Amino acid sequence: MTITPIAHFRSAFPTKFGIPRQSGIIEELKGRIVFEPTYRNADALRGLEGFDYLWIVWEFSANKTPEERGASAWQPTVRPPLLGGNTHMGVFATRSPYRPNPLGLSSARIEQIELTDNEGPVIHVLGADLMDGTPIYDIKPYVTYADCHPGARSGFVDERQWQELKVDFPEQLQAPFTKESLAALTRVLALDPRPQYQDNPDKVYGMPYEGYDIRFRVADGVLTVIEVKRKE
């Protein structure tokens, strides 16, 4: 089977650093699904306006190949960030991006469907966990009666709660962002975008967001933004 992208995702994140680790966690995050020219046909979206959510099938396009990571083939176990990056779990028991086929599946809320002159029909979504430029291979409507399973077990996820950080974001550094964008960025930072094996209170981290480099430190459960600089 050969598959090609039907669309690409547009978001505030030019790299995967800082992207929420699951979709739906930060509903304030805005993104757009922009179709490839072949698929810019409004008829293909007819009826989608009646749904609140959709599924996105996409590619972990920023992944290194096994060879680039120093591995000879796919690995049967991975180390989930929720478990601190130290516990091995089966790859098919996780949502790790490092899979035999690098495909992602995300649910996102439909904000609006816009018919544009230059990009055709564009789907504006909220809460997606995709990097800017991510190839999208399919979208499907989210159907409550089949896709929602109240009370279902979630394995090791049920046993661990993600510990959010307190965010100290000085007011003088907030000027470049709108109120909505700032709220989304603050939630992203609270979820601790650092690799889970790093905990150096003196280290300065940089995260690209909406054309800016957000620089911060983390110590004693507090993330402090120290600089916001426009990327050149």
Domain identity same for 222 and 178:
yes
Per-residue model confidence (pLDDT) at position 105? 96
| Residue 26 structure tokens | 């930060």
Other beta carbons less than 10 A from residue 6's beta carbon: 18
Q: Please, which pLDDT band fits residue 206 given cuts at 50, 70 and 90?
A: very high
Question: How many domains are there within the chain?
Answer: 2
53 inside domain? yes
Sign of the four-CA dihedral 14, 21, 9, 67: positive
Domain identity same for 28 and 134:
yes
Per-residue model confidence (pLDDT) at position 67? 65
49 inside domain? yes
Domain identity same for 108 and 140:
yes
Per-residue model confidence (pLDDT) at position 66? 64
Domain identity same for 42 and 107:
yes
Residue (of 63, 29, 46, 54) closest to 177 by Cα position: 29
Other beta carbons less than 10 A from residue 64's beta carbon: 11
157 inside domain? no
| Residue 69 structure tokens | 């990571």
Amino acid letter for position 136? I
Domain identity same for 104 and 38:
yes
Q: Please, which pLDDT band fits residue 205 given cuts at 50, 70 and 90?
A: very high
Domain identity same for 20 and 125:
yes
155 inside domain? no
**Domain boundary, last residue among 96, 117, 147:** 147
87 contact partners, CB below 8 Å, separation of at least 6? 79, 80
60 inside domain? yes
What torsion do the CA atoms of 82, 191, 100, 55 make, to the nearest 10 degrees? 120
Residue (of 183, 189, 132, 123) closest to 16 by Cα position: 132
**Domain boundary, last residue among 147, 181, 210:** 147
158 inside domain? no
pLDDT digits (tens, 9 = 90+) for 99-137: 889 999 999 999 999 999 999 999 999 999 999 999 999
User: How far, in Å, CA of 198 to CA of 66, rounded?
Assistant: 23
Domain identity same for 84 and 177:
no
- pLDDT > 70: percent of the chain: 96
Q: Is the pLDDT assigned to residue 90 strictly greater than 70?
A: yes
Domain identity same for 143 and 171:
no
Contact 110, 123 (CB under 8 A): yes
Domain identity same for 142 and 28:
yes
Report in angstroms the alpha-carbon separations of 105 from 56, 64, 147, 166, 208: 6, 19, 13, 29, 23
Q: Tell me the residue range of the domain where 226 lies.
A: 166-230
Domain identity same for 131 and 52:
yes
pLDDT digits (tens, 9 = 90+) for 8-57: 999 999 998 889 888 999 999 999 999 999 999 999 999 999 999 999 99
Contact 123, 113 (CB under 8 A): yes
Domain identity same for 142 and 190:
no
User: How far, in Å, CA of 47 to CA of 37, rounded?
Assistant: 21
Q: pTM here?
A: 0.90
Contact 228, 169 (CB under 8 A): no
Q: Is the pLDDT assigned to residue 185 strictly greater than 80?
A: yes
Provide the CATH number for the domain around residue 53. 2.40.30.70
Per-residue model confidence (pLDDT) at position 108? 97
Provide the CATH number for the domain around residue 187. 3.30.2310.20
190 contact partners, CB below 8 Å, separation of at least 6? 164, 165, 166, 167, 223
Sign of the four-CA dihedral 157, 160, 165, 166: positive
Per-residue model confidence (pLDDT) at position 70? 65
Residue (of 76, 98, 87) closest to 156 by Cα position: 87
Domain identity same for 46 and 98:
yes
